[in-house]
Copies of this chain bind each other. A is one copy, B any other.
Amino acid sequence: MDKLMQDANRFVSDMVEGLVLAHPDLYAKVDGVNVVKRKEPLNGKVALVSGGGSGHEPAHAGFIGDGMLAAAVCGEVFTSPTPDMVLEGIKAADAGKGVLLVVKNYSGDVMNFDMAKELAELEDIEVETVVVKDDIAIKKEEDRRGVAGTVFVHKIAGAAAAEGKSLAEVKAIAEKVIGSVRSIGMALSPCYMPESGKPGFDLHEDEMEIGIGIHGEKGIDRKPVASVEAIVTELLDRLTAEVTDKKVAVMVNGMGGTPESELYITYKYVAEQLQAKGYDIVRPYVGNYMTSLEMHGFSITLLPVDDELVGYLDAKTNAIGF
């Protein structure tokens, strides 16, 4: 698989440089590390920091902005950033009111963000952590991966922080989202690693993979490619078994190589089938939010919402990715 790149070793650093060059008013790079921060420091607000391996753009640097993240730590592709990098992100973001780390549930991320938290506490920065695990492709709840639902955590907790809430309050609202947000994804084709050029999994032209991860992890079921209506039925059957509250925000998230036309075609069937099941889609989101390099596919995320969460979803942000 060919890629637009100079050198696989500079994939992430070139991307971070390009991002900052393209949005000089929004972003600044932390010297010496692939950490992106707000150009303007926060004023007396709780700061949100997220990150992890790269390859999920616009996640996470694209969610930096008013009412979302204060910094994003950009590890190598599909590789957890080191604790030192996360510490740089924490220090760049902190505005004296504490930092909330939004971590996706992968062992490397959880360990490295935890170590960074300890290092930051030694420097007297107050840090709390939440771990997102919305991917229902994994049965055991504690093993579930963090995927596109993470974007709702960024948006909602970020809006609460922007409102001036305390670190404990922002953490509580993030936990409220994490407790109920659920996702599942599928792919028509895999992603390819920049370094090796190898696919995350082998998949025949006429096969699809249900329940994929966002790091090239293969799914839980492989079958012949079906119509989008049938695919949506299968994914929604799994999701609605877990999400029984009927007032929801919905995200149809592209995996990076999916044309926008296909995402909107997919959304039509998602909307029709959810309505037929008695769901009320209060806020729909369609686009690329949490991708996996050039993977062709999508995920569906359901988030039960009340007036408080809708208010935070609607709050203004200038983040380019939302």
User: Is A17's CB within 8 Å of the partner chain B?
Assistant: yes
Q: How far is the CA of A189 from the CA of B54 in the complex (A)?
A: 23
Contact of A256 among B1, B11, B260, B266 (CB under 8 A): B260
Which range holds the interface residue count of chain A?
A: 35 or more
* Beta-carbon nearest neighbor of A19 in chain B: B264
B21 with A284: CB separation less than 8 A: yes
A22 engages B260 (CB within 8 Å): no
Q: Is the pair A18, B296 in contact by a Cβ cutoff of 8 Å?
A: no
A93 smallest CB distance to B (angstroms): 21
* Seed contacts A4-B231, A15-B261; 13 additional CB < 8 Å A-B pairs: A2-B205, A4-B228, A4-B266, A4-B297, A14-B268, A21-B268, A22-B267, A22-B284, A57-B260, A58-B260, A257-B258, A257-B294, A257-B296
A183 at interface by CB-CB < 8 Å: no
Residue A6 CB within 8 A of the other chain: yes
A291 near B: Cβ within 8 Å? yes
Question: A168 at the A/B interface (Cβ < 8 Å)?
Answer: no
Check if A271 sits within 8 Å of B4, measured CB to CB. Answer: no
Choice from B5, B7, B260, B297 contacting A262 with Cβ under 8 Å: B5
CB contacts (< 8 Å) of A261 on chain B: these are 11, 15, 54-55, 57, 293
The residue that A15 contacts in the complex, of B23, B231, B265, with Cβ under 8 A, is B265
| A107 interface residue per 8 A CB criterion | no
